[in-house]
């Protein structure tokens, strides 16, 4: 599926609320090299994977 973007590069799904726009601009797609942050995501993803089995 192709995501529609506005002129400023913001995806259409981020237009719903200011919180979604902030998440799009500050979190989503922004690379991280912080080991603690990445480890937190690894644990959360592992926990979610266990719930879907």
45 is catalytic: yes
Q: From the candidates 23, 28, 37, 40, which is the catalytic residue?
A: 23
The b/e string for 12-37 (b: 16+ C-beta within 10 A; e otherwise) is: eebeeeeeeeeebeeeeeeeeeeeee
Residue ranges of the chain whose pLDDT lies below 50: none
28 is catalytic: no
| pLDDT number for residue 2 | 56
| pLDDT number for residue 21 | 92
| pLDDT number for residue 48 | 82
Domain boundaries, the chain: 12-51
Q: From the candidates 3, 26, 33, 53, which is the catalytic residue?
A: 53
């Amino acid at each position: 599926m192709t995501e529609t973007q506005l002129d400023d590069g913001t995806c259409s799904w981020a237009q719903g609320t200011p919180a979604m726009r902030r998440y799009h601009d500050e979190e989503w797609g922004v690379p991280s090299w912080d080991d603690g942050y990445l480890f937190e995501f690894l644990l959360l993803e592992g926990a979610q994977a266990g719930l879907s089995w």
